[in-house]
Amino acid sequence: MGIDFSSNISTDDNLCRSFFLSAMKFGDKVAYKADGGTGKSYSYRDALDIVSRFGAGLKDKCRGETEIGLLSENRPEWPISYLSILNSGKTVVPIDANLKPTEKKNIIDSARLKTVIVSDSQKDTISDISSDLKLILISDDSENSWHNYFQSPKEQIKIPADKTAALIYTSGTTGNPKAVMLTHSNLLHNLNSIGSCCQCGESDIFLSVLPLHHTLECTCGFLTPFYCGAQVVFARSLKSKEIVEDIKRSQATMMIGVPLLFEKMYDSIARKIKAAPLVRRILFKILFGLSWLGWKFGLRLGHGLFKSMREKAGLSTIRIFVSGGAPLPKKIAVFFYLIGFTLLEGYGLTETSPVLTANRLDDIKFGSVGRAVPGVEVRINKPDRDGIGEIIARGGNITPGYKDNPQATAELIRDGWLYTGDLGKLKNGYLYITGRAKNLIVSAAGKNIYPEEIEEHLFASPYILEAVVFGRKKLNKQGEDVLAVIVPDLDQIALDFSINADSPDMTELKKVMNKIVAEVNNSMSGYKRINSFEIQLEELEKTSTKKVKRFVYE
């Protein structure tokens, strides 16, 4: 049973009023901590005071401006600034701190921003982009400090529920990025949906890892904890070692991540098991088998069987991991569950605020992204004979569209339904993602090939760290060839083959990978076979939210 947000949230209200009610309820309880729990902290009352005063100052000193930018690494002042912008009656434009200067400029120009709230680490980059921008620094000892904007609030302004709360730019890499409009009502609808199926409360401690400009982390890792009275600790970095240290230090109980993060954690655990003495390896296999047997009979044995292992890893306080942003390989979800973790996978888009479906604590289907959350309807448009088609959705969390882009909006939303561009199927109400429509590979015989399915087969090999699969038109022939770029796990290969991990012989490495790819091909239907592949020793190029940039390799 999820926590009841109803006393704090009304979808006919606005985020600010809901925030004020929550802050007054939780008072002196710590809301935010910086630097993995060792840095500056703010109570709910502290945050309420700043949001009230900073919001009043922004309203007074930024007259005539409808949007204000927010550019900073993850830190407590980010969510406080976000709420302050909303409390001024304006729209917040979060900007990815990891974008290149030209990409940041594209967003600033597109949004016609005059004011940007920035951290010290970002001020020089922004100053170089435009000398006309007014910068407000979220620091205590600067000439342009946010403290200079603090004013005594005269009155709480009225904000309609359908006002745009945030403009989220889905791409900063072109001269004409699309800006998703998310209203106060959109976000409140999604918070209600999350609250009704997520068991979190004021005793929980969230470790915030993903960048806050991303809607998944913003809604689920910032707004959701605030409204249920939880504490948010901002991780020092995305490095696996530091994340584990931050979890142990902060006693974190919940963390939201992307599949790549959990894959790295899985690889680290698997590598340690592989290097353990024979007796310990045998014991692990026995316990893992017992946990799997228990799962088949509805028993959760892994929590007790692997308690000491989780304690040694510094992860014993974690109640729930949440994975989103991209499909999670089934073997990862199974592994974490069977060693005693709860790893819940969900699905959504920036345009849906973002959650559409989610697994529940008492209702997990491995390989599925769960059932639709309350208030959301999900369907499959024009399913083929296997039930696969484009996923469409509708509900109160759906964006009204892209700002100043009616053509893109009309393509996105048709007859009240949002067309996701993702392919999937529904089975007994559970949604299974099969891939992106634009990634679909069509064979010479006209058969559909889903690259994500082939990638999952590759990921099943202990000798592969990463892979991206794509199609390429055959020369003067019908259909497409299936190609792959593969990042081998050199440490694992070094254990089982005579190859130096630090300086591998590429000819010998190619021979090993040929065998591995041949095994993968033999596990699939013939038309899905990988025709050729390339080996890449450095990790695949990714976005700031750790999604592989497919277009780089196609």
**Average pLDDT of the residues in 263-276:** 87
Structural domain boundaries enclosing 106: 15-256
Same domain, 363 and 463: no
Give CA–CA dist 411/409, Å, rounded: 5
Mean pLDDT for 96-113 is 89
Do 429 and 415 meet the contact criterion of CB atoms below 8 Å apart? Answer: no
Output the pTM of the full model: 0.86
Residue-wise pLDDT tens digits, 164-173: 999 999 854 3
Residues 396 and 496 in one domain: no
1 lies in a domain? Answer: no
* Residue 290: closest CA among 273, 302, 303: 302
Q: Are residues 49 and 135 in the same domain?
A: yes
Q: Are residues 192 and 241 in the same domain?
A: yes
Percent of the chain with pLDDT over 90: 72
pLDDT cut 70: percent of the chain above it:
96
Q: State the average pLDDT for the chain.
A: 91
96 & 161 share domain: yes
For the segment 436-454, the average pLDDT, to the nearest whole number, is 84
What is the model's pLDDT at position 175? 45
Looking at residue 4, what is its pLDDT?
Answer: 47
Q: What does the pLDDT read at residue 132?
A: 84
Looking at residue 270, what is its pLDDT? Answer: 86
Domain ends where: 256, 284, 310?
256
- Sign of the alpha-carbon dihedral angle for 288, 293, 296, 297: negative
- Tokens in use for 260? 């790549």
Judge whether 148 lies within some domain.
Answer: yes
> What value does the mean pLDDT take over residues 192-219?
92
| 82 and 95 together in one domain | yes
Residue type, 283: L
What is the residue whose two structure tokens read 């190609």?
A: 483
Please give the average per-residue pLDDT across 537-541, as a whole number.
Answer: 93
Cβ–Cβ under 8 Å, residues 224 and 200: yes
What pLDDT band is residue 10 in, cutting at 50, 70 and 90?
A: low
CA distance 150 to 543: 35
* Residue closest to 425 by CA, chosen among 373, 365, 358, 379: 379
Mark which of 195, 228, 256 sits at the end of a domain.
Answer: 256
210 and 93 in one domain? yes
Shared domain for 428 and 508, answered yes or no, is no
Q: Given the DSSP bridges, would you call strands 389-395 and 417-427 parallel, antiparallel or unpaired?
A: antiparallel
Query: Is 9 inside any structural domain?
Result: no
The pLDDT value given to residue 125: 84
Apex 118 CA angle, 115 and 121, nearest 5: 145
DSSP 69-121: EEE--SSTHHHHHHHHHHHTT-EEEEE-TTS-HHHHHHHHHHHT-SEEEE-HH
Rounded (to 5) percent helix, strand, coil in the chain: 40, 25, 35
The residue type of 370 is G
Kindly tell me if the per-residue pLDDT of 444 is higher than 80: no
Whole-number Å distance between alpha carbons of 192 and 197: 9
Weakest mean pLDDT among 43-57, 136-150, 424-438: 136-150
Answer yes or no: is 82 within a domain.
yes
- Do 272 and 353 belong to one domain? yes
Which of 41-55, 95-109, 304-318, 381-395 has the lowest average pLDDT? Answer: 95-109
| Whole-number Å distance between alpha carbons of 55 and 325 | 31
User: To 10 degrees, what angle do helices 506-522 and 451-459 make?
Assistant: 120
Pinpoint the alpha helices (H) of 276-412. Answer: 278-296, 302-305, 307-312, 330-338, 406-412
Strand-pairing partners, residue 116, are 69, 135
Of 228, 256, 284, the domain-final residue: 256
| Phi and psi based region of residue 532 (left: phi greater than 0; alpha: psi -120 to 50; beta: remaining) | beta
Q: Label residue 155 by pLDDT band (50, 70, 90).
A: confident
Is pLDDT of 101 > 50?
yes
Locus of tokens 């005793």: 203
Longest Cα–Cα distance in the chain: 73
User: Are both 161 and 239 inside the same structural domain?
Assistant: yes
pLDDT score recorded for residue 6: 44
CATH number of the domain bearing residue 349: 3.40.50.12780
Looking at the structure, tell me whether residues 303 and 215 fall in a common domain: no
Is 90 exceeded by the pLDDT of residue 321? yes
Give the separation between CA 141 and CA 89, rounded to whole angstroms: 27
Q: List strand residue ranges (DSSP E) for 362-510, in order.
A: 371-372, 376-381, 389-395, 401-402, 413-414, 417-427, 430-436, 441-442, 448-449, 464-473, 480-488
Band (220; pLDDT cuts 50, 70, 90):
very high
The two three-digit tokens of residue 338, written as one number: 């069977």
Q: For position 11, what pLDDT does the model report?
A: 65
The DSSP letter of residue 461 is S
The verdict on 101 and 233 lying in the same domain is yes
Which tokens hold the place of 311?
Answer: 């304690």
Q: What total number of domains does the chain contain?
A: 3
Q: Which residue has the higher pLDDT, 483 or 13?
A: 483
Q: Within a domain: residue 6?
A: no
Say if 428 falls within a structural domain: yes
pLDDT score at 299: 92
Residue at 5 is within a domain: no
Domain assignment of residue 178, yes or no: yes
Q: Which of 94-108, 174-188, 204-218, 409-423 has the lowest mean pLDDT?
A: 174-188
Among residues 480, 491, 493, the alpha carbon closest in space to that of 529 is found at 480
Binning pLDDT at 50, 70 and 90, where does residue 8 land? low
Average pLDDT over residues 26-46: 97
In this structure, what are the phi and psi dihedrals at residue 321, rounded to the nearest 5 degrees?
A: -100, 140
User: Residue 9 pLDDT > 90, yes or no?
Assistant: no
Burial (CB count within 10 angstroms: exposed 0-12, middle 13-18, buried 19+), residue 378: buried
Instruction: Kindly state the average pLDDT of the residues 64-76.
Output: 97
- CATH (domain of 542): 3.30.300.30
